[in-house]
Structure 1
Amino acid sequence: MTDRTDCQTVLIVFGTRPEAIKMFPVVHALRGDPRFRVRVCISAQHRGMLDQVMAIAGITADHDLDLMRPDQTLDALTAALLTGLGGVMDAEKPDWVVVQGDTATAMAGAMAAYYRKIRVAHVEAGLRSHNIYHPWPEEVNRKIIGTIAALHFAPTQTAADALLAENVAADTIHVTGNTVIDALQWVTRKIADEPALAGGLRELEARFAGRRIIGVTSHRRENFGGGLEAIATAIRTIAARPDVALIFPVHPNPNVRRVMAAELAGLDNVALIEPLDYPHFARLLGMAEIMLTDSGGVQEEAPALGKPVLVMREATERPEGVAAGTAKLVGTDPVRIVSEIFTLLDDKAAYSAMARAHNPFGDGQSAPRIMELLVNAG
């Protein structure tokens, strides 16, 4: 290992599956360069799903806070994150703390670093919906990190412009593309070399042969309760078509599972399955004609494979996809969701317009750009 005096110590902090997906290309890039001493700290805000990504990416944590608790409140989680991450920073004394996105882990990581006057670099900076309750609490988490960070790695010019509008110094903002495209390209190549990595969906492929597959994900806090019930109603209506099948990896949150099990269990052409590891989720994106989601990351990933995305939210912090035509906001009204799905299924021109739209989120070289920006920042 390069001596500490010859390199920068970078503490990379994440805790959820989406963060792990978007951060492993950065970990790979920095660990492959002798100018950095890389330390990885995970909060395990998501446990099993996080571990799956780390295993496939070949990353081990130097610090594992293991903070996931059943029905944990946001304030309890935030308090535990601040003290836990602070202790790690006191031990490691990093030159940089790198966080990603908008989670409680990212926000607390930035706060703990700020309390110690450690520089923060923010991967996927500048996303804004301009509504502090959609997505909630992520919109405010991002704004807090944006106030603290010394380097802002914006995925798009739109994100960079949002930061400039908030008077963030222009020389700290860099458009890098989104690391999720790096990750998707990496895992797609890996599956091509090792097909067994995503072989667990073969049974569903056989079961739904000849049907048009719609992939579904839903887990947003703002949709808990009535929103999830409305989404389930829409799925039941869509499933009445004999030419479709819906594959729905159900989030482990009991608020999601209760509703979906009650409303959708037993439908022949709806597969409620366990959350997928990253290779299998990439395979689902490949199998699906359409993605129906309230996730942020899917809005970026699916267009990279030419798949239209219908977003079951009232606002998105990724307006680039909507502007480019790769994604459409449909909210949680069942009538609207069903209408938009049927349009894509039945109108070839409407489908083609979304499927062929340019993906605005990156070219797969974001992590190397981030590495060089950290080098240049010193």
Structure 2
Amino acid sequence: MKIAPLCEQFAARGIPHVLVHTGQHYDHRMSKLFFDELGIPRPDRDLGVGSGSQAEQTAEIMKRLEPVLLEERPDLMIVVGDVTSTMAATITAAKLGIPVAHVESGLRSFDRTMPEEINRLLTDAIADWHFTTEDSANENLKREGVAAEKVFFVGNTMIDTLVKHVERASESPILETLGVAPKGYGVVTLHRPSNVDNRENLTVIMEALHEIAREIPLVFPIHPRTRKRIDEFGLGHLINGFIFTEPLGYLDFLRLTSQARLVLTDSGGIQEETTVLGVPCITMRENTERPVTVTCGTNILVGADGKRIVEEGKKRLNGFTAGGSIPPLWDGHAAERIVDFIVNRICS
């Protein structure tokens, strides 16, 4: 979702580029769905890294990416987001003297127990150019000593993708397939280790979701690890009222989210999407690296506090709205601004 608008802009302007897919996210069915649905060309290079521990993935990405960079010798490498691939690719390029631009730079949860926070800190410490999505990111980078002339507030490429595809997503039959009506259901996503792998936290969250599911069906595209933990921890008695599905493609999930009464999640990106869609979002985390979704958008943080999850969920089911507006520059043109910069600074 973050790279697709950039690929489109490069192609439209005739800028030579090489798309590298590390294969860190290795579900072939989902990968094919996303590439096909978003119109992303097949990767020029697929490193096929696959699963493994954080250290194993980091090592494999660096080992397999280095010969690609030595062969291609790009003028610039662009990395997006905060996954292991982002950090590992940045280190590899920096050691070869290849400039790095980080898209979605400067976001901070201030929680170093999150692997993504370590990835963000390391990437931004050595990247040459920083493209940011919100003002808090600019402030974080300033506080960390990044020179102002290296930071560019451009908006959010993930929202570029949403804006482009939201009308097309309205044609998805997913609501009919699941037997739910617009605004007649909620959506749940749950995958973070702190929630899923902790028996106490998962029990509290599932009990709270079970309580909300008494009032409205909850559609739950469930992560395989989450399903496994529910079984392992003996929580099967709490799944009444849920409509479980396999993980969904982008268009199906966008349609599902856009028509939901509320969304309960521990995902970062979904906080952004619900803010633009105007859908109430209850985030089951103690912190967020995207504070603009709380200060400006439709998001509220409740942690793994069962009482708060139920209270905030029922408030929204009963018509409470905290308002919410679309953050500055989340207008569908972030990729254009990024490529304008690259054309003026790198290609000129």
TM-score normalised by the shorter chain: which range applies?
over 0.9
AA partner of residue 139 (structure 1): E
In the alignment, structure 1 segments of 5+ residues that lack a partner are: 1-20
2:213 to 228, 239, 263: 239
* CA spacing shift, 1:265–1:114, aligned 2, 3 Å: farther
- How many residue pairs end up in the alignment? 339
Greater strand share, structure number: 1
For normalisation by structure 1, the TM-score amounts to 0.85
- The answer to whether the 8 Å contact 2:188/2:218 transfers is yes
- The answer to whether the 8 Å contact 2:22/2:48 transfers is yes
AA partner of residue 238 (structure 1): I
SS in 1 for 2:4: helix
Match of 1:78 in 2: 58
Question: Identity across aligned pairs (percent)?
Answer: 35
* CA spacing shift, 1:104–1:77, aligned 2, 3 Å: same
* CA spacing shift, 1:235–1:265, aligned 2, 3 Å: same
Give 1:291 shift: 1.0
Match of 1:54 in 2: 35
2:49 to 67, 91, 96: 67
Distance 1:158 1:295 in 2: 19
1:28 to 8, 28, 51: 8
Match of 1:14 in 2: none
Match of 2:152 in 1: 174
- The answer to whether the 8 Å contact 1:264/1:270 transfers is no
SS in 2 for 1:87: helix
For normalisation by structure 2, the TM-score amounts to 0.92
The C-alpha deviation readout for 1:49-103, integer Å capped at 9, x for no partner, is 333211112221011112113xx21111111111111122112111111001110
1:307 to 275, 279, 299: 279
RMSD between aligned residues: 1.8
* CA spacing shift, 1:211–1:327, aligned 2, 3 Å: closer
In the alignment, structure 2 segments of 5+ residues that lack a partner are: none
Match of 2:313 in 1: 341
Match of 1:11 in 2: none
Match of 1:154 in 2: 132
* CA spacing shift, 1:82–1:298, aligned 2, 3 Å: same
Give 1:237 shift: 1.5
1:228 to 192, 202, 210: 202
Matched, 1:138 2:116: yes
AA partner of residue 201 (structure 1): L
AA partner of residue 200 (structure 1): I
The C-alpha deviation readout for 1:228-270, integer Å capped at 9, x for no partner, is 33222211111122xx110011123x2x121345535785531
Match of 1:259 in 2: 229
Distance 1:340 1:83 in 2: 47
Matched, 1:127 2:99: no
Q: What does 1:311-326 correspond to in 2, within 5 Å? A: 311-326=283-298
